[in-house]
Chains A and B, each alone.
Chain A
Protein backbone atom coordinates (compact mmCIF):
# COMPACT_ATOMS: atom_id res chain seq x y z
CA UNK A 1 0.00 0.00 0.00
CA UNK A 2 1.21 3.49 -0.86
CA UNK A 3 -0.92 4.91 1.97
CA UNK A 4 -1.86 8.57 1.55
CA UNK A 5 -0.20 10.39 -1.33
CA UNK A 6 -0.21 14.11 -2.07
CA UNK A 7 0.84 16.13 -5.09
CA UNK A 8 2.54 18.47 -5.62
CA UNK A 9 5.10 18.54 -2.83
CA UNK A 10 5.76 22.24 -3.28
CA UNK A 11 3.97 25.01 -5.19
CA UNK A 12 4.38 28.73 -5.66
CA UNK A 13 1.33 30.74 -6.71
CA UNK A 14 0.62 34.37 -7.40
CA UNK A 15 -2.27 36.08 -5.65
CA UNK A 16 -5.51 35.36 -7.47
CA UNK A 17 -4.39 32.17 -9.15
CA UNK A 18 -6.28 28.94 -8.61
CA UNK A 19 -4.95 25.44 -8.16
CA UNK A 20 -5.89 21.96 -6.98
CA UNK A 21 -3.99 19.99 -4.37
CA UNK A 22 -4.34 16.30 -5.03
CA UNK A 23 -4.81 13.61 -2.37
CA UNK A 24 -5.29 9.89 -2.85
CA UNK A 25 -5.39 6.87 -0.54
CA UNK A 26 -5.36 3.18 -1.37
CA UNK A 27 -6.61 1.81 1.96
CA UNK A 28 -10.33 2.02 1.12
CA UNK A 29 -10.86 4.48 3.97
CA UNK A 30 -14.24 6.16 4.20
CA UNK A 31 -13.10 9.24 6.07
CA UNK A 32 -10.74 11.77 4.49
CA UNK A 33 -9.80 15.26 5.59
CA UNK A 34 -7.62 18.26 4.79
CA UNK A 35 -5.64 20.20 7.40
CA UNK A 36 -3.39 23.22 7.19
CA UNK A 37 -0.43 23.66 9.51
CA UNK A 38 0.84 27.12 10.38
CA UNK A 39 3.54 28.14 12.86
CA UNK A 40 2.03 28.87 16.25
CA UNK A 41 -1.44 27.75 15.13
CA UNK A 42 -1.07 23.99 14.99
CA UNK A 43 -3.11 21.88 12.60
CA UNK A 44 -6.56 23.14 11.69
CA UNK A 45 -9.25 21.26 9.79
CA UNK A 46 -10.30 22.76 6.44
CA UNK A 47 -12.80 20.24 5.00
CA UNK A 48 -13.62 16.61 5.51
CA UNK A 49 -15.58 13.80 3.88
CA UNK A 50 -17.23 10.74 5.43
CA UNK A 51 -17.64 8.99 2.10
CA UNK A 52 -17.98 9.44 -1.65
CA UNK A 53 -20.38 12.28 -2.41
CA UNK A 54 -20.41 13.61 1.15
CA UNK A 55 -18.30 16.58 2.28
CA UNK A 56 -18.50 19.10 5.10
CA UNK A 57 -16.69 22.16 6.38
CA UNK A 58 -14.13 22.20 9.12
CA UNK A 59 -12.74 25.05 11.20
CA UNK A 60 -11.20 27.13 8.37
CA UNK A 61 -13.08 26.42 5.10
CA UNK A 62 -13.14 29.88 3.52
CA UNK A 63 -11.32 30.11 0.19
CA UNK A 64 -11.25 26.34 -0.29
CA UNK A 65 -13.48 23.90 -2.11
CA UNK A 66 -13.61 20.08 -2.07
CA UNK A 67 -15.45 17.24 -3.75
CA UNK A 68 -15.37 13.47 -3.26
CA UNK A 69 -16.40 11.58 -6.37
CA UNK A 70 -14.53 8.38 -5.47
CA UNK A 71 -13.46 6.68 -2.24
CA UNK A 72 -9.79 7.06 -3.20
CA UNK A 73 -9.51 10.75 -4.12
CA UNK A 74 -10.18 13.95 -2.21
CA UNK A 75 -8.83 17.05 -4.03
CA UNK A 76 -8.63 20.47 -2.41
CA UNK A 77 -9.21 23.48 -4.64
CA UNK A 78 -8.00 27.00 -3.94
CA UNK A 79 -10.38 29.26 -5.81
CA UNK A 80 -8.38 32.52 -5.75
CA UNK A 81 -5.13 32.20 -3.83
CA UNK A 82 -4.27 34.77 -1.15
CA UNK A 83 -1.02 35.25 0.81
CA UNK A 84 -2.91 34.11 3.95
CA UNK A 85 -3.17 30.68 2.35
CA UNK A 86 0.59 30.23 2.48
CA UNK A 87 0.86 27.09 4.59
CA UNK A 88 1.63 23.40 4.66
CA UNK A 89 -1.38 21.31 3.69
CA UNK A 90 -1.89 17.76 4.90
CA UNK A 91 -4.41 15.22 3.71
CA UNK A 92 -5.43 12.41 6.06
CA UNK A 93 -7.61 9.33 5.99
CA UNK A 94 -8.96 6.74 8.42
CA UNK A 95 -11.52 4.01 8.81
CA UNK A 96 -14.58 4.46 11.00
CA UNK A 97 -15.04 2.81 14.34
CA UNK A 98 -13.11 1.91 17.45
CA UNK A 99 -9.47 0.94 17.23
CA UNK A 100 -9.51 1.26 13.43
CA UNK A 101 -9.66 5.04 13.72
CA UNK A 102 -5.92 5.50 13.50
CA UNK A 103 -5.40 8.54 11.28
CA UNK A 104 -2.93 8.28 8.38
CA UNK A 105 -1.36 11.44 6.99
CA UNK A 106 0.17 12.26 3.65
CA UNK A 107 3.63 13.90 3.35
CA UNK A 108 2.16 17.37 2.85
CA UNK A 109 2.13 20.09 0.20
CA UNK A 110 4.03 23.30 0.91
CA UNK A 111 2.25 26.24 -0.68
CA UNK A 112 3.68 29.74 -1.04
CA UNK A 113 1.37 32.50 -2.28
CA UNK A 114 3.11 35.67 -3.39
Chain B
Protein backbone atom coordinates (compact mmCIF):
# COMPACT_ATOMS: atom_id res chain seq x y z
CA UNK B 1 0.00 0.00 0.00
CA UNK B 2 1.37 3.39 -1.01
CA UNK B 3 2.25 5.65 1.91
CA UNK B 4 3.32 9.28 1.62
CA UNK B 5 5.30 10.96 4.38
CA UNK B 6 6.14 14.63 4.72
CA UNK B 7 8.88 15.92 6.98
CA UNK B 8 8.92 18.19 8.88
CA UNK B 9 5.31 18.51 10.01
CA UNK B 10 5.88 22.19 10.77
CA UNK B 11 8.54 24.73 9.86
CA UNK B 12 9.13 28.34 10.91
CA UNK B 13 11.59 30.54 9.02
CA UNK B 14 12.38 34.27 8.77
CA UNK B 15 11.45 36.13 5.60
CA UNK B 16 13.98 35.82 2.79
CA UNK B 17 15.23 32.37 3.67
CA UNK B 18 15.43 29.60 1.10
CA UNK B 19 13.82 26.38 2.29
CA UNK B 20 13.17 22.78 1.32
CA UNK B 21 10.11 20.67 2.07
CA UNK B 22 10.45 16.92 1.84
CA UNK B 23 8.09 14.20 0.61
CA UNK B 24 8.78 10.48 0.52
CA UNK B 25 6.68 7.63 -0.87
CA UNK B 26 6.98 3.89 -0.39
CA UNK B 27 6.06 2.59 -3.86
CA UNK B 28 8.16 3.97 -6.72
CA UNK B 29 5.63 2.86 -9.38
CA UNK B 30 4.00 6.27 -9.58
CA UNK B 31 2.34 7.99 -12.54
CA UNK B 32 2.85 11.51 -11.25
CA UNK B 33 3.40 13.60 -8.13
CA UNK B 34 1.77 16.89 -7.24
CA UNK B 35 2.50 19.58 -4.70
CA UNK B 36 -0.44 21.57 -3.32
CA UNK B 37 -0.86 24.57 -1.09
CA UNK B 38 -3.69 24.88 1.42
CA UNK B 39 -4.49 28.09 3.28
CA UNK B 40 -6.41 27.84 6.58
CA UNK B 41 -10.08 27.10 6.00
CA UNK B 42 -9.61 26.91 2.24
CA UNK B 43 -9.37 24.30 -0.48
CA UNK B 44 -6.19 23.01 -2.11
CA UNK B 45 -4.38 24.80 -4.91
CA UNK B 46 -2.08 22.84 -7.21
CA UNK B 47 1.44 24.30 -7.34
CA UNK B 48 3.39 21.86 -9.47
CA UNK B 49 2.79 18.53 -11.18
CA UNK B 50 5.72 16.27 -12.06
CA UNK B 51 5.25 13.36 -14.44
CA UNK B 52 7.06 10.13 -13.53
CA UNK B 53 9.42 10.64 -16.49
CA UNK B 54 10.42 14.14 -15.33
CA UNK B 55 13.08 15.14 -12.81
CA UNK B 56 11.84 18.60 -11.88
CA UNK B 57 9.34 21.36 -12.50
CA UNK B 58 9.65 25.07 -11.83
CA UNK B 59 7.13 27.84 -11.31
CA UNK B 60 8.39 31.22 -10.21
CA UNK B 61 10.16 30.86 -6.86
CA UNK B 62 9.11 27.21 -6.57
CA UNK B 63 11.07 24.23 -7.80
CA UNK B 64 9.98 20.64 -7.28
CA UNK B 65 12.25 17.67 -7.90
CA UNK B 66 11.46 14.00 -8.22
CA UNK B 67 13.71 11.00 -7.63
CA UNK B 68 11.40 8.10 -8.35
CA UNK B 69 13.93 5.37 -7.67
CA UNK B 70 14.56 6.59 -4.13
CA UNK B 71 10.91 7.51 -3.52
CA UNK B 72 11.57 11.17 -2.80
CA UNK B 73 10.47 14.61 -3.87
CA UNK B 74 11.47 18.02 -2.61
CA UNK B 75 9.80 21.40 -2.93
CA UNK B 76 12.30 24.25 -2.90
CA UNK B 77 10.99 27.73 -2.08
CA UNK B 78 13.38 30.57 -2.82
CA UNK B 79 13.41 33.87 -0.95
CA UNK B 80 10.45 33.01 1.26
CA UNK B 81 7.79 35.64 1.98
CA UNK B 82 5.09 35.91 4.70
CA UNK B 83 2.53 35.21 1.98
CA UNK B 84 4.07 31.74 1.57
CA UNK B 85 2.73 30.78 5.00
CA UNK B 86 0.39 27.83 4.43
CA UNK B 87 0.25 24.06 4.58
CA UNK B 88 2.01 22.31 1.72
CA UNK B 89 0.76 18.88 0.68
CA UNK B 90 2.42 16.26 -1.48
CA UNK B 91 0.33 13.67 -3.34
CA UNK B 92 1.19 10.77 -5.64
CA UNK B 93 -0.84 8.87 -8.19
CA UNK B 94 0.06 5.23 -8.64
CA UNK B 95 0.60 3.87 -12.15
CA UNK B 96 -2.24 1.39 -11.75
CA UNK B 97 -4.67 3.70 -9.99
CA UNK B 98 -6.61 6.87 -10.51
CA UNK B 99 -6.66 8.33 -7.01
CA UNK B 100 -4.17 10.64 -5.34
CA UNK B 101 -2.55 9.48 -2.10
CA UNK B 102 -1.74 12.44 0.13
CA UNK B 103 0.84 13.11 2.76
CA UNK B 104 -0.25 14.89 5.93
CA UNK B 105 1.46 18.09 4.96
CA UNK B 106 4.07 20.54 6.20
CA UNK B 107 2.77 23.73 7.81
CA UNK B 108 5.06 26.62 6.93
CA UNK B 109 5.20 29.89 8.81
CA UNK B 110 7.31 32.73 7.39
CA UNK B 111 7.84 35.66 9.74
CA UNK B 112 8.55 39.21 8.63
The finding on whether chains A and B are genuine partners in a shared complex, rather than unrelated, reads yes
Query: Which of A13-21, A64-72, A76-84, A100-108 lines the interface with chain B?
Result: A100-108
Query: Hey, which chain B residues are within 8 Å of A48, CB to CB?
Result: 98-99
CB <8 Å contact, A103 and B34: yes
Main secondary structure of the interface of B (DSSP, over half): strand
Residues from chain B with a CB closer than 8 A to the CB of A35 are 102
Can you name the residue of chain A whose Cβ is closest to the Cβ of B105? A42
> What is the CA–CA distance of A70 and B44 in the complex, to the nearest angstrom?
24
A41 to chain B, nearest CB (A): 8
B111 adjacent to chain A (CB < 8 Å): no
Does B49 lie within 8 Å of A99, measured CB to CB? yes
Q: Is B93 an interface residue (CB 8 A)?
A: yes
Q: When chains A and B are docked, how far (Å) is the Cα of A33 from the Cα of B102?
A: 14
A101 touches B93 (CB 8 A): yes
- Docked pose: A41 CA to B44 CA in angstroms: 16
Residue from A40, A98, A103 in contact with B46 in the complex, judged by beta carbons closer than 8 Å? A103
Which listed residue, A41, A42, A90, A101, touches B43 by the CB 8 Å rule? A90
**Contact: B99 with A102, CB < 8 Å?**
no
A-chain residues with CB within 8 Å of residue B103 when the two chains form the complex: 42
Q: Is A113 an interface residue (CB 8 A)?
A: no
**Footprint of A on B, CB under 8 Å?**
32, 34, 36, 42-46, 49, 51, 89, 91, 93, 98-100, 102-105
In the A-B complex, list the 8 residue pairs whose CB atoms are closest, starting with the nearest. A105-B43, A105-B44, A42-B104, A43-B102, A107-B43, A45-B99, A102-B46, A42-B102
Question: Can you list 26 A-B pairs with a CB-CB distance of less than 8 A?
Answer: A4-B43, A31-B98, A33-B99, A40-B104, A42-B89, A42-B105, A43-B89, A43-B91, A43-B102, A45-B100, A48-B98, A48-B99, A58-B99, A59-B99, A92-B44, A98-B51, A99-B51, A101-B32, A101-B49, A102-B49, A103-B44, A103-B91, A103-B100, A105-B36, A105-B44, A107-B43
